[in-house]
Chains A and B, each alone.
Chain A
Amino acid sequence: NFMLTQPHSVSESPGKTVTISCTGSSGSIASNYVQWYQQRPGSAPTTVIYEDNQRPSGVPDRFSGSIDSSSNSASLTISGLKTEDEADYYCQSYDSSNRVFGGGTKLTVL
C-alpha cells in the first residue's frame, strides 16, 4: 500500500522559513496531486494547498507547495513564520481508489 511519510515535528522562529516534507513510499508522487491541510489545536482542518501548489482564496502567499520527483516528495514551505502558523500539517494524495494521508507534522513556532 502507498504511504506518505512526514517528519513528526519541526520548529522554527517567527519570521523564518520552514519546509515540511512528505515522501511517497513507492511509485511517483508526481503522478497524483498532493494537498496540504492545516489543523490548529482544538480546531477543524483547513485546506492550505491543493493540486500540488495551488492556494485557496484567503490563504496567504506565505504558504507554497512543490513537488520534487527526484526525491519522490512533496513539500510545504511557509515563509515569514507567525505564531498563528503553529499547527499540525497533513499532506494527502491518492492510491488506487483511496485518499492517503501522511501522519502529520507538528509545527512549533518559538
Chain B
Amino acid sequence: EVQLVESGGGLVKPGRSLRLSCTASGFTFGDYAMSWFRQAPGKGLEWVGFIRSKAYGGTTEYAASVKGRFTISRDDSKSIAYLQMNSLKTEDTAVYYCTREPTTYYDSSGYPDYWGQGTLVTVSS
C-alpha cells in the first residue's frame, strides 16, 4: 500500500526557515517524481513544485510564488522527499501536501496519483 506521511510542520516566525519531510512507503521511491502542494486555511489548492527522479536528472520545478525561497530535494536511500522553506511569509501559512507523480515530464506537466494527509505550517509573529 502506498503511503506518504508529511512531518515537520508547526509555528514559525516570518523570515525564518522550516523543513518539511515526506516519508514514503509501499513503492520504489526512487522511480517516481514527487510533488508538493499547499492549501491556505479555507482556500483552494496551490501547486508548490516537484522533483524528478534521478533517472530524469533529479531536477526541480517551482511555482512562481515560491521560486528562490523554497527548495525541494530527495534522499532515495531513505525514501524521503524534503521541502526546505526559507524567508517564510505570513501568506505561506497552509497545509502542505506531499504527492507521488506516476509520470515524469520535462516541463511542469504531470499529476499526482497519491496524496499524503498534509502538515500544517503557520507563519506568524
User: Quick one: closest B residue to A1, CB to CB?
Assistant: B64
Say yes or no for A103: interface residue by CB 8 A criterion: yes
Residues 98 to 125 of chain B near chain A (Cβ within 8 Å): 107-109, 111-113, 115-118
User: Is B109 in contact with A44, judged by CB distance below 8 angstroms?
Assistant: no
Give bound CA distance, A27 to B6, whole Å: 36
User: Across the interface, which residues of A come within 8 angstroms of B41, CB to CB?
Assistant: none
User: Is B113 in contact with A56, judged by CB distance below 8 angstroms?
Assistant: yes
User: Across the interface, which residues of B come within 8 angstroms of A45, CB to CB?
Assistant: 37, 45, 97, 115
- Measuring CB to CB, which residues of chain A are less than 8 angstroms from any residue of chain B? 32-33, 35, 37, 39, 44-47, 50-51, 56, 90, 92, 94, 96-99, 101-104
- Measuring CB to CB, which residues of chain B are less than 8 angstroms from any residue of chain A? 37, 44-47, 61, 63-64, 97, 107-109, 111-113, 115-118
